[in-house]
């Protein structure tokens, strides 16, 4: 018989009482409950950090309308349709919220206050670009905003990457999209 597969019952060992076994079970139950509570708090913070920028972006899309003149203007073939533009802005908002959550989990906003300032600047600039270009028709101002947004995302990528490498990598697709929007905005200025 293999002795490694044998177990002792609490009553078989004179040094272990039923009270000691109950106390050990209670400790493991308390640890499990604490872990579940931490997981619930983490999930709650994740939902908030993703849904807040996402809902602000949805509100921005709703208020900016259908892009006055964007669909009727003659433009190059590589310009994204308005529905793709809105969908990509929502995806960018989701990914940046997730990236900010990774930084927040690692206490990056507390340790490096510039990360929070950069993320706030990103949020403000990304919320202002669409209404500026499509609602107000101010392509020059939109070009300044999109250039500042690209610079802000470069800073976010650098600082987020120092706190959490995954967060820094998540910023890269957002940076590529914003650079593309800057090129689109530049072409809109000269149309």
User: Alpha helices of 65-112 — where are they, by DSSP H?
Assistant: 82-105, 108-111
**Opening angle at CA 126, ends 64 and 54, nearest 5:** 80
Annotated domain spans of the chain: 53-190
- Tell me the two tokens of residue 136: 């107000």
- Give the per-residue pLDDT at 79: 83
Closest by CA to 21, choosing from 3, 8, 39, is: 8
Whether residue 73 has pLDDT greater than 60: yes
Q: How many CB atoms lie within 10 A of CB 146?
A: 25
Whether residue 145 has pLDDT greater than 80: yes
Whether residue 54 has pLDDT greater than 90: yes
| Dist. CA 158–CA 164, nearest whole Å | 10
What is the pTM (predicted TM-score) of this model?
Answer: 0.75
């Amino acid at each position: 018989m293999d002795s490694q597969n044998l177990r002792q019952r609490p009553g078989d060992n004179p040094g272990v009482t039923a009270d000691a076994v109950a106390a050990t079970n209670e400790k493991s139950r308390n640890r499990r409950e604490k872990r579940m509570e931490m997981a619930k708090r983490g999930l709650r913070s994740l939902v908030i950090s993703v849904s807040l920028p996402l809902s602000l972006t949805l509100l921005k899309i709703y208020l900016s309308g259908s892009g006055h003149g964007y669909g009727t203007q003659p433009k190059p073939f590589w310009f994204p349709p308005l529905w793709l533009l809105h969908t990509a802005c929502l995806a960018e908002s989701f990914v940046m919220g997730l990236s900010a959550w990774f930084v927040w989990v690692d206490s990056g906003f507390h340790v490096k206050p510039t990360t929070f300032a950069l993320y706030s600047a990103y949020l403000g600039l990304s919320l202002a670009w669409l209404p500026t270009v499509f609602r107000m028709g101010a392509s020059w101002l939109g070009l300044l905003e999109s250039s500042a947004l690209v610079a802000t995302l470069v800073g976010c990528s650098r600082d987020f990457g120092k706190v959490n490498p995954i967060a820094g990598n998540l910023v890269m697709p957002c940076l590529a999209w914003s650079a593309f929007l800057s090129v689109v905005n530049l072409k809109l200025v000269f149309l």
